[in-house]
Amino acid sequence: MRNGTRRWLRPLAAGVMLIAALLLAACGGGGGGIEGGDDTGQVSTAMAEGEPSGTLAISNWPFYIDNKTVPDFEKATGISVKYTEDVNDNAEFFGKMQPLLDQGESGGRDIMIVTDWMANKMYDLGYLQDFDQEAVKPAMDNLVPALQSPSFDPNRDFSLPWQSGMTGLVVNTAEAPDIKSANDLFDPKYKGQVEMVSEMRDTVPIVMMADGIRPEDATKQDWLDTIEKLKEASESGQIRRFTGNNYTSDMANGDAIAVIGWSGDAIQLQADNPDIQFVMPAEGCSLWSDNMVIPVGAPNPTAAYAWMNYVYQPKNQAQITDYNYYFSPVEGVKPYLEKINPEAAKSPLIFPTEQYTKNCATQTDPPGSPEDVSEVEQAWQAVVTG
Amino acid sequence: MNGESKPLSRRLIPYGLMGPGLLWLVLFFVIPLYFMARLSLESGTLETGFKFTWEWSNFSDGLSTYDEQFIRSFIYAGVATLIALVIAYPLAYAIAFRGGSWKNALLFAVVAPFFVTYLIRTIAWTTILSDDGVVTGVLRTVGILGDDGRLLATPTAVIAGITYNFLPFMVLPIYASLERLDPRLIEAAKDLYSSSRAAFLKVTLPLSAPGIVAGTLLTFIPAAGDYINAIFLGSTNQHMIGNVIQGLYLNVRDYPTAAALSFILMAVIMAAVVVYIRFAGSEALMGEEEEAQ
């Protein structure tokens, strides 16, 4: 036994020395590791070249497209599409992509769909490419005027809306008929049956507005106070959990009866349970857009523009709208939608009246310097990750 | 000692045989570990870039901020390991000694859930344990749960999930050590007027100790770092240290603190394992070999 042990010790020692040698070699290589974004230099333009062909990879959120648009597009253009629903939360998606994007790679993605603030952040870090305006012109021509110059991208240099929508209350009206405001979510009788999305810029303003603070006037302290209120509600068990887009499965299972969530999801959930409704909070909703962007290292921008131009044709867009029930960013969808689904064409979730959204606020960042924003974000993450 | 007289080529064989494994270990364990160690001592933010500054406060701050999740992780992992042991030992015993011709089929049944991925198995439990589900309904009817009692988003669900997911890791090593046990030893004990209970305590249990030690380690170590069960079956209040590390990496992008927490987790597990093996006696792990010689 003793002899046996010694026989095995020698190779082990040799191994340790080999490892040490390799480590020294690695140190000499100047360390590596994640360096972060101090290289925010030139933004390149993703130029279209020749006829679109090949493969197109798209990363989108769940419940965002009908099941016919992709095959139709493939038939019309001969491009094969790899459509992945791998965006569940902006911050989480960014965390997953950041190390790749920092190396100038997109993991094969040609189009990613992220919310306004995230598109802005990625652009500032140099992770996105400018559009070839010539190539994307047919789509831009059909963009509704209201979305043509958002503050973060006034000339639509690098972003094109996929859909816009409202953050508000998604309620199982059979179980909780009296929920009309975000304040009702804190009612003890709904303890443990309430959820909220883990997106800070969605959840916090809705709760804030219910307390009478308008997000556009809110101070950093207002944000922190609201986050503190949510923290207490989470620790007491009033809020069951914070989730990404997969709160929809908890609604479908009956584990949650009211959530702060997105307008279009309510419609998807109605297919299984007609009692689930989008409820406009009495104090107003939050408005946002999710945008198609082209990341650095996108292998096939030409096909990406073909996709954008395709989905921006009102006829094709109507098919998507009919499924996801969000505001369409495309001009002239209504007549086509009336043809395929007259009911949908009347829905305030797709074509809201001014009266319906009069109290709604456009989604914003917390106020202040990047450090202030980061402080608020950290406080928020402490609540949602425990 | 007779190695000296062997030709050089023969002496090199063990090194050659270890080569591939060693290379694998260096490439996929040691080098990543080195970069993690370096990262854990950096400071800065994603926007300004991370700089290597020997930032030891990542460790102390991380530990003081997330001590709650650390303690929770070890409690959940410990309880799950104990429950798994209580379930697995009789099961492995029954398969090894009473399985007969069903042995292989029973073992297959233990491993069968692994044919479905971890994630899907855990998500399936969210349906099984859901508030409107059968399990919750039955427990409410018999009064174990209150009328608005629930299982999901409670520590019970998370611990149950961990126990379920790691049970085969406990069953298989225990089975392996029981299966190898020579039944004549038990017969001999009985011939020497030992009762069944005494024979079990003095013969079977000590000889299956290596399996128990291996099983508890294989269950406890991954369970302490698990985050999947807490995500799907728990809520923020059940989050374990794995969830914190995941959140820091993916959402906050505070890579240094996340790396520091990973190292603390590794160190604590390592210390616990060393103490455990000391306590259990190293012969528990080596017992088989000694017997063989």
Tell me the pLDDT of chain B averaged across its residues.
Answer: 88
User: CB–CB of B47 and A37 under 8 A?
Assistant: yes
Q: Report the pLDDT value the prediction gives residue A298, as an integer from 0 to 100.
A: 96
On chain B, the residues whose CB falls within 8 A of the CB of A192 are: 148, 150, 153
Judged by a CB distance cut-off of 8 A, whether residue B38 touches chain A is: yes
Q: Report the pLDDT value the prediction gives residue A57, as an integer from 0 to 100.
A: 97
Q: Report the pLDDT value the prediction gives residue A160, as an integer from 0 to 100.
A: 97
Decide which of A29 and B219 is more confident: B219
Closest CA to B76 of B166, B139, B146, B148: B166
Q: Report the pLDDT value the prediction gives residue B284, as an integer from 0 to 100.
A: 58
- Work out the burial of residue A218: count CB atoms within 10 Å of its CB; fewer than 13 is exposed, 13-18 middle, 19 or more buried: buried
Decide which of B20 and A15 is more confident: B20
Q: Report the pLDDT value the prediction gives residue A386, as an integer from 0 to 100.
A: 65
Judged by a CB distance cut-off of 8 A, whether residue B18 touches chain A is: yes
Q: Report the pLDDT value the prediction gives residue B82, as an integer from 0 to 100.
A: 97
pLDDT band at A161 (very low <50, low <70, confident <90, very high): very high
For the cut 60, the answer to whether the pLDDT of residue B289 exceeds it is no
What's the rounded mean pLDDT across residues A1-8? 47
What's the rounded mean pLDDT across residues A189-208? 94
User: CB–CB of B34 and A249 under 8 A?
Assistant: no
User: CB–CB of B131 and A18 under 8 A?
Assistant: no
pLDDT band at B72 (very low <50, low <70, confident <90, very high): very high
Judged by a CB distance cut-off of 8 A, whether residue A33 touches chain B is: yes
What's the rounded mean pLDDT across residues A304-330? 95
Phi/psi for A300 (5° steps) reads -140, 70
pLDDT band at B291 (very low <50, low <70, confident <90, very high): very low
pLDDT band at A18 (very low <50, low <70, confident <90, very high): low
For the cut 80, the answer to whether the pLDDT of residue B70 exceeds it is yes
For the cut 70, the answer to whether the pLDDT of residue B93 exceeds it is yes
Judged by a CB distance cut-off of 8 A, whether residue A201 touches chain B is: no
Closest CA to A285 of A313, A308, A263: A263
For the cut 60, the answer to whether the pLDDT of residue A360 exceeds it is yes
Which residue reads 């079990």 in tokens?
Answer: B200
d(Cα B19, Cα A11) in Å, to the nearest integer? 10
Judged by a CB distance cut-off of 8 A, whether residue A212 touches chain B is: no
Q: Which residue among B35, B235, B246 sits closest to A241, beta carbon to beta carbon?
A: B235
Tell me the pLDDT of chain A averaged across its residues.
Answer: 88
Residues 219-238 on B with a CB inside 8 Å of A are 234-238
At B28-53, the pLDDT tens digits run 999 999 999 999 999 887 777 788 99
What's the rounded mean pLDDT across residues A294-304? 96
pLDDT band at A14 (very low <50, low <70, confident <90, very high): low
Q: Report the pLDDT value the prediction gives residue B254, as an integer from 0 to 100.
A: 85
- Long-range contacts at B159-164 (CB < 8 A, ≥ 24 apart): B159/B76, B159/B79, B159/B80, B159/B83, B160/B125, B160/B129, B160/B233, B161/B122, B161/B125, B161/B229, B161/B232, B161/B233, B162/B76, B162/B77, B162/B80, B162/B223, B162/B226, B162/B229, B163/B80, B163/B83, B163/B84, B163/B87, B164/B121, B164/B125
**CB-based contact B26:A22 (threshold 8 Å):** yes
On chain A, the residues whose CB falls within 8 A of the CB of B67 are: none
The angle formed by the CA atoms of residues A262, A266 and A267, to the nearest 5 degrees, is 120
**CB-based contact B259:B36 (threshold 8 Å):** yes
Q: Report the pLDDT value the prediction gives residue B9, as an integer from 0 to 100.
A: 81
d(Cα A53, Cα A300) in Å, to the nearest integer? 8
Which sign, positive or negative, has the C-alpha torsion A301, A304, A308, A310?
positive
pLDDT band at A169 (very low <50, low <70, confident <90, very high): very high
Q: Report the pLDDT value the prediction gives residue A186, as an integer from 0 to 100.
A: 96
For the cut 60, the answer to whether the pLDDT of residue A23 exceeds it is no
Distance from CA of A330 to the nearest CA of B (A): 32
At A65-86, the pLDDT tens digits run 999 999 999 999 999 999 999 9
For the cut 60, the answer to whether the pLDDT of residue B104 exceeds it is yes
For the cut 50, the answer to whether the pLDDT of residue A158 exceeds it is yes
For the cut 90, the answer to whether the pLDDT of residue B279 exceeds it is no
Q: Report the pLDDT value the prediction gives residue A3, as an integer from 0 to 100.
A: 47
pLDDT band at A28 (very low <50, low <70, confident <90, very high): very low
What's the rounded mean pLDDT across residues B248-267? 90
What's the rounded mean pLDDT across residues A99-114? 94
Which residue in chain A is spatially nearest to B18 when comparing CA positions? Answer: A11
Judged by a CB distance cut-off of 8 A, whether residue B5 touches chain A is: no
Q: Report the pLDDT value the prediction gives residue A31, as an integer from 0 to 100.
A: 37
At B176-233, the pLDDT tens digits run 999 999 889 999 999 999 898 999 999 999 999 999 999 999 999 999 999 999 999 9
Q: Report the pLDDT value the prediction gives residue A64, as an integer from 0 to 100.
A: 93
Mutate to test the interface with B, among A102, A241, A247, A376 (most CBs of B within 10 A): A241
**CB-based contact A87:A81 (threshold 8 Å):** no
Q: Report the pLDDT value the prediction gives residue A39, as an integer from 0 to 100.
A: 46
Mutate to test the interface with B, among A34, A121, A196 (most CBs of B within 10 A): A34
Q: What one-character-per-residue DSSP string does B106-154 give?
A: HHHHHHGGGGS-HHHHHHHHHHHTSTTSHHHHHHHHTTSS-TT--STTS
Judged by a CB distance cut-off of 8 A, whether residue B150 touches chain A is: yes
Q: Which residue among A33, A242, A254 sits closest to B42, beta carbon to beta carbon?
A: A33
For the cut 50, the answer to whether the pLDDT of residue B290 exceeds it is no
On chain A, the residues whose CB falls within 8 A of the CB of B69 are: 386
For the cut 60, the answer to whether the pLDDT of residue A275 exceeds it is yes
What's the rounded mean pLDDT across residues A1-15? 50
Q: Report the pLDDT value the prediction gives residue A374, as an integer from 0 to 100.
A: 84
For the cut 90, the answer to whether the pLDDT of residue B143 exceeds it is no
